[in-house]
Structure 1
Amino acid sequence: MVQFEGVESLTRMFVLVSGELVGIIVGGLLLGLMTRLILGRIGLIPAMRDHPERLAGLRRRIRYVLISACLGLCLGALGLNGYLVFQRTDPYVQTTEWINAIPPDFWLKLALSLAKVIGLVIAGRMVINMLVRLLNSLMGKAKAFEGIRANDESIEVFFSSLTAILSNCIKFLVVIAAAALLSLPGPVAAYLLAALYIYLFFTIGLLVVKAVAAIVDSLDALSKKYSSPDNWLRHYEKLSILIPLFRRCLEYVIYVTVATLVILQLSFIERFAVIGPRLTKVIGIFFISRVIIEIGNILIDRFQQEQKNLTEKERKQRLTLIPLMKSAMKYVVYFTAILLALNAMNFNPAPLLAGAGIIGIVIGLGAQPLINDLVSGLFILFESLYLVGDYIETGQGRGVVESIDIRTTRLRDPGGQQHILRNGQIGDIINFSKRYTFAEVEVGVAYDTDLDLAYTVLAEVGRKIREVNQDVLEDMKVLGLQNFGESELLLRTITRVKPGCHQQVARDLRKLIKEAFDGQGIEIPYARRVLIFKTETEENPLKDNTSSTLSDRMR
């Protein structure tokens, strides 16, 4: 190895580097000229005359590859010579030794290999163009299938991704074949092949995700198109809420599988690949648990719908118990799913259950209000103190019962506000929905009113509303004179109605009573105000007299 030293060595190195750079540039220009001539000949073929834009695009890509290769070789030459200088080795002498060691037929083989590589690149480009046309044709047929338009976007995304992936794979294969033709060292081809595998894993995984999206959208559209009350697809609308979750779980499974395959290609982290199948099991357990919950909800609702001949009380009991059944089923399924997921991850759930039991005892001792709410909720349900749909009044609120949970009760008051009451704090309860209730209406009449006529009109109103309103159970009862007011006689009436209907019936009665009293000339007194306006003279009647007296005295 000759040491790099002196002005002579520096001059030779400068000449060598300049010659290498000029040779690389001239070689690139020659290859570009040869490529242009070859593509020009190809353009004369009759089949290619109708596609000049494709040849122009191919020419631009080859020019881009040649320019990139020339730049890379120039940088490589500069880097190699710089490394030799750093090692205090004369680049000229070292390069001369390497050239002398090259076999005589090396350059011929290199030229032939480069020609093969250029031909390979051209062939790869033509294959990619043919592939693009084929995939575009398939995409058009897929979009036209069954005349469905809801999945067009997902189909376009899938085929565009498929086109890009296959094109890149062909380019990878061209690079690997070029490395073999140029007789590059064995590790280069091995690394390129490993990179191709990793790329394929990632891209195929993403492609499968997009394919799943396209397939799921297509099946969703087909199911909605062909569903009817007469076939099993009538349940699809209720299960369709699982479609987004199904897609997401499939995506996660694909991502985990791809990550596992990539990890297997990397020896230094290969031991972590066992986590992938476990995570896949956990995702599957979670999705299956959701499917079981939705199917259970459908079965419970179907059981409720099949019970036709139910009394009003039985119907309210079902409406009360069905949410509790769904909630209990959901908790049981999720608890079982957690245990199965822990087992899938090779965790023994027995110590966790034992610890949870001890923690539950400790929490129970310190959560007396919670236990009180739970126990009170159970008694409310078992004794049917009130049910969903009942109109009740408690110390904390009044309104229609919307739901009864184990711990809370939700009321909707007439103003639209929702009251959430703890079961343990609900004291006295007034239930307006047990068997019947009374619509109470009080109306005032003038003191000079014929009370017998007023009673007759009220009774007629009671008979009329019973005929037109099914919520009225009996004719109105006129209880008589309730009170002597300052300007009115207060008459009281009650009407037996169905549970929870008393307020609306009372409103309807007031309207009918007003119309009937107006028709019979019965006055309903109302407050009157009398305004008295005083003139200036009335406010001070002595003012004018006083002024006259003073005038007389001054005279």
Structure 2
Amino acid sequence: MLDALAGIKGLYRDFAVIGGELAIVVVALLLLDAVVRLAFRRLDAIPPLRRFQGRAKALRRSVRWALFGAGLLLCAAVAAYNGLLIYRGVDVFTATRDQFARIPPDFWKQLGIGAAKVVALVIAARLIVRWLRKLIGVLEGRAMAFEQLRANDEAITAFFAALRRIVSNAIWLSLLIVASGLLPFPAAVPGYLTIALNIYLAVALGLLLVHTMAVIIDSLEALSKKYWYREGYLGWYERLSALVPLLRRCLEYVIYVAVATVVLSQLQFIAHLAVYGPKVVKAIGIVFLAKVAVEIANLLVDRSLSGEDDASEVERQRRLTIGPIVKSLLGTTVYFVAFVLILRAFDLNPLPILAGAGILGVVIGFGAQPLINDVVSGFFILFENLYLVGDYMETGNARGTVESIALRTTRIRDPNGQVHILRNGLIGEVVNFSKEYTHAVVEVGVAYESDLNQVYRVLGEVGSQFQKECADVLEPTQIRGLKDFGDSALLVRTVTRVKPGRHRQAGFALRKLIKEAFDREGIEIPFAQRVVSFKEAGGRETFEEEGSAPQPEDG
């Protein structure tokens, strides 16, 4: 046949040779399929074997699909090999003729034996796949019956279904590798198929682990709640359980990196990048352990600062103030150590980097003097005990309760709910209403016709009653006397010593009691009045009174 193509020149002859080779492959596979079909028919004709007719049909379909896959693989190999020859400028006709000339006399015999072995391997693989599917089904049933995993039945079913698919595909890919060694393929084909199998297993198993990671972690968490629950460790568990989502993400990243490392190691032209995989895994582990260390440190700080239940209010405020500062310093230290360890994991010397960072910090420090001033002022605020978290203070235009004190800023929430964020370096004069005691100053106006002795007596009674009813009052209300002659009222000033930061609430309650007492005693609280005169066109004059009660001062 090759001699008949000798008169054709150029690519036409090459394409004719390639078409002939593909035709030979197709015809050979068709003949092999016919032989297999004839063999199965003869087996079906045997009476004792007729009861296995269903299994025989399934096996026949498997063999046919195997032959079909082998045919596609052979055709692809023929086309790829001849395409490579054309790319290299080799005459396909000459190369094919030389190949046929070098074929040993027993080549076709060995080819037939190899094909028979492949068919036997297909049958064996079919049986192995069926047995493994049954085994996986048994394992799935046991997992479904496990007490702690009943809530995850759908996830378990999906996991084992994916596992069946991966095992089945891996066996058939392994069969292709063995078949490529039994058949007269180029020596590089089994190696390429092995690389493909390794990459498939790495990616498939990695994705399977990622998709089932939530189920595994949730199940372990349920087991930990059941078997490791102790009253003394309850606080630890509640705090550390917040790290479970971070653990899940870190494990997913580790799996992704491991899969990428395996894939890179299988591809020679980028295999040198695989050395970074273990380093990245170390970095992920360091980040997670650093977060765990910070959480444990915060828990220890909270427990050490919680102290005894009988601590004074001032001591509790001091602990609330110092706690965030200590946590911030510990967290910064842990993350700095983690950064150095990550550099060492990538074989980087941290000393030059730290030295450069120090020089850069000095340069930045000259331009960041306000920031340094804020930090230094924050230390002085803490050490001089100017104010603590929970104190009611006033500085500049800000007045309210201190919510937090950091090294750089102080947060104050005013009575209207607005938050004032003040730089520590800009805080000047501070008025602290929460040191030992404070005064609730209430000024009340009475009519000029009122008997001041009666007013003082009623206010004294109200002050005594107020001390009994309000736990924030430290001493009875003092009547300081007549403060001012107003336009329409005499202004009487009262002062009540109350607990730190409670002057506003005490003032509100005291005003209510004074109003009720004045109403009972008939003491008038006057308010300004204004008479407006209107003259109509007919000369008639009308009057309209307007009045407004005096507004009390903010106590």
* TM-score under structure 2 length normalisation: 0.81
- What CA distance in whole angstroms lies between the structure 2 residues aligned with 1:76 and 1:100? 20
- Whether the aligned pair in 1 keeps the contact of 2:306 and 2:319 (CA below 8 Å) is no
- What are the superposed Cα offsets for residues 478-515 of structure 1, whole Å, 9 maximum, x if unpaired? 33333333333333222211111111121222233333
Report 1:499-518 matches (<5 A).
499-518=500-519
The equivalent of 2:257 in structure 1 is 256
The equivalent of 2:303 in structure 1 is 302
Report 1:184-333 matches (<5 A).
184-210=185-211, 212-225=213-226, 228=229, 230-333=231-334
The equivalent of 2:353 in structure 1 is 352
- What are the superposed Cα offsets for residues 153-206 of structure 1, whole Å, 9 maximum, x if unpaired? 654554344333222211211111222332433322222223323333333444
SS at match of 2:468: helix
- What CA distance in whole angstroms lies between the structure 2 residues aligned with 1:346 and 1:100? 58
SS at match of 1:184: coil
Q: Which amino acid aligns with 2:318?
A: Q
**Runs of at least 5 residues in structure 1 that lack an aligned partner in the other structure:** 541-555
SS at match of 2:231: coil
Q: CA deviation at 1:423?
A: 1.1
- What CA distance in whole angstroms lies between the structure 2 residues aligned with 1:471 and 1:45? 99
Q: Which moved more, 1:253-262 or 1:317-326?
A: 253-262
Alpha carbons of structure 1 residues 280 and 8: separation in structure 2 relative to 1, 3 Å: closer
Identity among equivalent positions (%) equals: 51
Q: Which amino acid aligns with 1:175?
A: L
Alpha carbons of structure 1 residues 45 and 395: separation in structure 2 relative to 1, 3 Å: farther
Q: CA deviation at 1:313?
A: 1.6
- What CA distance in whole angstroms lies between the structure 2 residues aligned with 1:510 and 1:83? 100
Q: Which amino acid aligns with 2:516?
A: E
The equivalent of 1:393 in structure 2 is 394
- What CA distance in whole angstroms lies between the structure 1 residues aligned with 2:97 and 2:368? 89
**Runs of at least 5 residues in structure 2 that lack an aligned partner in the other structure:** 542-555
- Whether the aligned pair in 2 keeps the contact of 1:374 and 1:406 (CA below 8 Å) is yes
- Whether the aligned pair in 2 keeps the contact of 1:150 and 1:218 (CA below 8 Å) is no
1:407 matched to 2:408? The reply is yes
- What are the superposed Cα offsets for residues 365-412 of structure 1, whole Å, 9 maximum, x if unpaired? 333222222221111111101111111100141111111112211111
Q: CA deviation at 1:16?
A: 8.0
* TM-score under structure 1 length normalisation: 0.81
Alpha carbons of structure 1 residues 498 and 59: separation in structure 2 relative to 1, 3 Å: farther
- Whether the aligned pair in 2 keeps the contact of 1:435 and 1:498 (CA below 8 Å) is yes
- What CA distance in whole angstroms lies between the structure 2 residues aligned with 1:355 and 1:449? 80
The equivalent of 1:379 in structure 2 is 380
Q: Which moved more, 1:182-191 or 1:262-271?
A: 262-271
- Whether the aligned pair in 1 keeps the contact of 2:412 and 2:420 (CA below 8 Å) is yes
Alpha carbons of structure 1 residues 144 and 422: separation in structure 2 relative to 1, 3 Å: farther
- Whether the aligned pair in 1 keeps the contact of 2:148 and 2:222 (CA below 8 Å) is no
- Whether the aligned pair in 2 keeps the contact of 1:449 and 1:523 (CA below 8 Å) is yes
Alpha carbons of structure 1 residues 29 and 530: separation in structure 2 relative to 1, 3 Å: farther
The equivalent of 1:552 in structure 2 is none
Alpha carbons of structure 1 residues 5 and 187: separation in structure 2 relative to 1, 3 Å: closer
- What CA distance in whole angstroms lies between the structure 1 residues aligned with 2:370 and 2:204? 56
- Whether the aligned pair in 2 keeps the contact of 1:397 and 1:419 (CA below 8 Å) is yes
Report 1:40-189 matches (<5 A).
66-67=67-68, 69-70=70-71, 106-107=107-108, 109-148=110-149, 155-156=156-157, 158-189=159-190
The equivalent of 1:546 in structure 2 is none
- Whether the aligned pair in 2 keeps the contact of 1:5 and 1:90 (CA below 8 Å) is no
Alpha carbons of structure 1 residues 90 and 445: separation in structure 2 relative to 1, 3 Å: closer
- Whether the aligned pair in 1 keeps the contact of 2:148 and 2:223 (CA below 8 Å) is no
SS at match of 1:215: helix
Q: Which moved more, 1:485-494 or 1:234-243?
A: 485-494
- What CA distance in whole angstroms lies between the structure 1 residues aligned with 2:406 and 2:345? 33
The equivalent of 2:426 in structure 1 is 425
Alpha carbons of structure 1 residues 224 and 523: separation in structure 2 relative to 1, 3 Å: farther
Q: Which moved more, 1:404-413 or 1:131-140?
A: 131-140
- What CA distance in whole angstroms lies between the structure 2 residues aligned with 1:454 and 1:523? 10
Q: Which moved more, 1:209-218 or 1:74-83?
A: 74-83
The equivalent of 2:343 in structure 1 is 342
Alpha carbons of structure 1 residues 117 and 460: separation in structure 2 relative to 1, 3 Å: farther
Alpha carbons of structure 1 residues 284 and 94: separation in structure 2 relative to 1, 3 Å: closer
- Whether the aligned pair in 2 keeps the contact of 1:223 and 1:236 (CA below 8 Å) is no
- What CA distance in whole angstroms lies between the structure 1 residues aligned with 2:240 and 2:302? 13
The equivalent of 2:496 in structure 1 is 495
The equivalent of 1:551 in structure 2 is none
Q: CA deviation at 1:324?
A: 0.8
The equivalent of 1:367 in structure 2 is 368
SS at match of 2:348: coil
- What CA distance in whole angstroms lies between the structure 2 residues aligned with 1:390 and 1:103? 100
Q: Which amino acid aligns with 1:168?
A: N
Q: CA deviation at 1:10?
A: 11
The equivalent of 2:544 in structure 1 is none
Alpha carbons of structure 1 residues 220 and 529: separation in structure 2 relative to 1, 3 Å: farther
- What CA distance in whole angstroms lies between the structure 2 residues aligned with 1:39 and 1:466? 107
Alpha carbons of structure 1 residues 501 and 81: separation in structure 2 relative to 1, 3 Å: closer
Q: CA deviation at 1:115?
A: 4.4
1:437 matched to 2:475? The reply is no
Alpha carbons of structure 1 residues 489 and 220: separation in structure 2 relative to 1, 3 Å: same
Q: CA deviation at 1:71?
A: 5.3
- What CA distance in whole angstroms lies between the structure 2 residues aligned with 1:216 and 1:258? 20
SS at match of 2:416: coil
The equivalent of 2:469 in structure 1 is 468
The count of corresponding residues between Structure 1 and Structure 2 is: 535
- Whether the aligned pair in 2 keeps the contact of 1:227 and 1:233 (CA below 8 Å) is no
Alpha carbons of structure 1 residues 19 and 219: separation in structure 2 relative to 1, 3 Å: closer
Q: CA RMSD in A?
A: 4.1
- What CA distance in whole angstroms lies between the structure 2 residues aligned with 1:46 and 1:533? 120
